[in-house]
Amino acid sequence: MSVLVLVAPPDVDLAPLTQQLWANRIAHRVIEVEGKQHLYLADAADVAKVRVWLQQWQTGDLQQVEHSLARQGSASHYLLSMLQTPFTLAVAVVLVAVFAYMQVSHFWYDWAQPGLGLWPQHKNSLAAYLHVGLLGWLKPTVLHFSLMHLVFNTMWWWILGRALERQDGVWRLLLLTLITALVGNLAQWWVSGPGFGGLSGVTYGLMGWIGWRQYQRGVPYPIPRMLLPLMAGFLLLTMAGDSIIPGLSGTANSAHLGGLVCGLLMAWVWPLSLHERQLIAAKQSFSRPDANDPDSNDQDRG
């Protein structure tokens, strides 16, 4: 379970402290919560050692690590960070690999057109959806039709997926990915028929999940709180444009909306775990320290 050990103002340079941690192979992360930097340790067993360094850092007595160790720690940090989110990394690799194969093969024509010949006559028939099958509905999710399309969706997947996998775990991210992909693709097919693809329904679903849990539950993610309103506004803008001039934005608005609503609903009904309640309580206690506690005041000053 991660442990919060420091809350510092946004203008405080934590680099000397984080370099010391990486040089000593202590896994940690710094996230911004309500305008302040929060330093979390991955292992509670490291707290005692780190508190000594915190005191030295606050008094200016922390010895700087050698540059070679700092560079090694930085490289280790990047590698460890990637390996800590294996599912996010694997999906990103699959997206790139599928896009590359799409350039030399036409296999994807069938993947992008689930239920071809069934729409619109049978779009309200359960038999049509069962005929396509679960895998058939999920296949369009990994297809991207341009380099910009791939880069945009992979970037958002990397940002949101890693934050969610770290905070909520790989199995919850896997479940969210499958359900939001399915709901988004079904919504797009029902509204517009076959001929679509992309991961954006999933990324909107992850935005909905993270945004709701940030605003309504107080779960800390290293994601700006304004991201959900911003992307929801962008979705409404493209939908408005396409309603005036069909096809203006070229986006699968129904998949976006379906994924977003699905993510919001899942976040609404999903109960908080014991770890999450403890994390929220720790965040609140560190965000509002006791004015009579000198140690708490020191932490606020960073």
- Positions marked catalytic: 200, 256
Strand order across the 36-41 sheet:
3-8, 36-41, 28-33
| Contact of 208 with 215, CB cutoff 8 Å | no
The two structure tokens encoding residue 213 = 């849990």
Q: What interhelical angle do 126-138 and 170-192 show, nearest 10?
A: 130
Query: Which amino acid type is present at position 180?
Result: T
219-237 per-residue burial string, b: 16 or more CB within 10 A, e: under 16: bbbbbeeebbeebbeebee
Residues 6+ away with beta carbon under 8 Å from 96: 150, 154
Query: Which amino acid type is present at position 149?
Result: H
Query: Which amino acid type is present at position 163?
Result: A
Task: Say how far apart CA 302 and CA 17 lie, in whole Å.
Answer: 11
- φ/ψ (deg, to 5) at 3: -130, 130
H or E element in which residue 266 lies: helix 253-269
Radius of gyration over alpha carbons of the chain, in Å? Answer: 23
By residue count, the chain amounts to: 302
Within 10 Å of residue 21's Cβ, how many Cβ atoms? Answer: 22
